[in-house]
Amino acid sequence: MRCLKDYRDDVALMIMAPPEGCVPPPDLSEHVFAIGFPTDAELAEVIRDTDAGISVSRWEGFNMPLAELQQAEKPVFAFNLAAHPEVVVAPDQLCADADEMAYKLYQSFRAEGAPTWARPAQIGPWRRQFGWERFMNDFNRIVEEAA
């Protein structure tokens, strides 16, 4: 955040955590905001107004906000661990550490337009994999097999 705020003064980090449990350092207090746990409608609004997303989780199971940001074709980056390699559209969204994540985020702010992974050839198969139609087909198949 310190590097990013030097590059772009209007940068903000929204953290999905209770505000009382998130006290940013004084030099970042105007740039870091705990937004609690928004409803689906609130999260959709946040995503609409977001330029990019990161996940610094080291234990995430699926990571719905990461998937939602990608559905909206926002640049997203996550650590290369847990389920993140299965959730991101392309491997170049994965980061080994915070320095690499900050660098990739900075580069995404410099780029114009949708991220390279958002091309139809890449995002199309990802959307089919994480879409409701596939889920419902799998769910119906499981129910039929159990019957």
Over residues 72-120, the pLDDT tens digits come to 888 899 999 888 888 899 999 999 998 899 888 888 888 877 788 777 7
- The pTM is what? 0.75
Contact status, residue 28 vs residue 1, Cβ threshold 8 Å:
yes
User: Which amino acid is residue 6, in one-letter code?
Assistant: D
133, two tokens:
């139609």
Let me know if residue 47 belongs to a domain. Answer: yes
Let me know if residue 24 belongs to a domain. Answer: no
Let me know if residue 33 belongs to a domain. Answer: no
Let me know if residue 122 belongs to a domain. Answer: yes
Let me know if residue 27 belongs to a domain. Answer: no
Residues in the chain: 147
Domain count, the chain: 1
Let me know if residue 118 belongs to a domain. Answer: yes
User: Which amino acid is residue 8, in one-letter code?
Assistant: R
Q: Which helix (H) or strand (E) holds 145?
A: helix 132-146
Among residues 88, 96, 94, the alpha carbon closest in space to that of 118 is found at 88
Q: Give the per-residue pLDDT at 34.
A: 93
| pLDDT tens profile 37-65 | 989 899 889 989 888 888 887 776 677 78
Q: Order of strands across the sheet with 76-79?
A: 53-55, 76-79, 94-95
Give the confidence band of 142 by pLDDT, cuts at 50, 70, 90. very high
Let me know if residue 12 belongs to a domain. Answer: no
Give the domain range for residue 76.
Answer: 38-146
Q: Helix, strand, coil proportions of the chain in percent (round to 5)? A: 50, 10, 35
115 Cβ partners below 8 Å, 6+ apart? 73, 74, 75, 108
- DSSP label at residue 51: S
93, two tokens:
């969204």
Report d(CA 116, CA 19) in Å as an integer.
Answer: 34
Let me know if residue 57 belongs to a domain. Answer: yes
* Averaged pLDDT, 114-140: 80
Q: Give the per-residue pLDDT at 134.
A: 79
